[in-house]
Structure 1
Amino acid sequence: DPETGLPVERKSGRFGPYVQVGEGKEARRASIPKDIEDFDLEWALKLLGLPRIIGPHPETGHPIEAAIGRYGPYLRHDGKYAKLSGTRDVFDVGMNRAVDLLAQAANRGGAARGSREPLKVYGQNGDGADVKLMEGRYGAYITDGTTNVTIPKDKDKDALTLDEALAMLAE
């Protein structure tokens, strides 16, 4: 490593090949991604230098970082993440593209996992808990906060009454 004068070593571990600078607890390590064919000292130094700070976000002023993690290359800003398509993107992505990717990831985030807002509140059960119609990962369901019941496909979720919902929760 030109900065520290320590040797850069290519090693093989239980999670695959990696590069290392230094020894013991002070050693810096980085996995060698599978999508890099022309791996050399220059690549090793780039990987060991991650995460790369792209710059301050134009709206918040907080740094945007590009890095390679367990699930591949990504961008990080204020606890929000966006996936990058390849290892080279970690070193090539600029501020404009980074801001776009983070905005797209933020817009995608909530819709993919279903909304936590009820589609409809039927009323209250005997215990005073709200009986709600929710949309989940596997379709519409009714909940009273403790019990969840999936609405069968042949039933119209919009035509359901409080009494029918309570009967389904009691089953």
Structure 2
Amino acid sequence: MASKLPIVRQIKYSFLLPSILLIVISYGIFSLMGISIPIEESLIVYLVVSYTGRAIIPKNHRKGINYIKNNQYDEALVEFHESYLYFSKYKWIDKYRHIVMLSPSQISYTEMALLNMAFCYGQLGNGEKAKELYQQVLKEFPDSQIAITSLKMFEAASGLDFNKQQYIDK
């Protein structure tokens, strides 16, 4: 069944290394302790650590996603804005999300917050604000393919040619 909303999940495979290491190390510890089925215990440790980190730290992001799923875009905007502020303040958490939250996401939570805010504004019919946020994404994250693609669509709809540099230089 197709998704009702566009969902993009980009994984940076090197970010999976801390997750694998946690499983291997806990397997070794459980083996040394004489646990009969250490792989199951290791996977439980991984799931607890992973779920806890992803449930507590990006709580506004998760709330925003849930609001989007329920077409509550105004409420989602508030949550994504809070997420953006949090991860802008604590850049190290976002930078090391693969260790802190065991998140293999290639896109940072800061970038995701801005992209999701732009999406919400688009769904609310405020194309100008959406375009402004996609431009902000491109300034902060010049390689953001989602922002580039979105701005190309805006330009195509306006009958203009896309020039990435014009958004970065502003």
Q: Pick the TM interval, shorter chain.
A: under 0.3
Q: TM-score, normalised by structure 2?
A: 0.26
Q: TM-score, normalised by structure 1?
A: 0.26
Q: Could you say which structure has the higher helix fraction?
A: 2
Q: Could you say which structure has the higher strand fraction?
A: 1
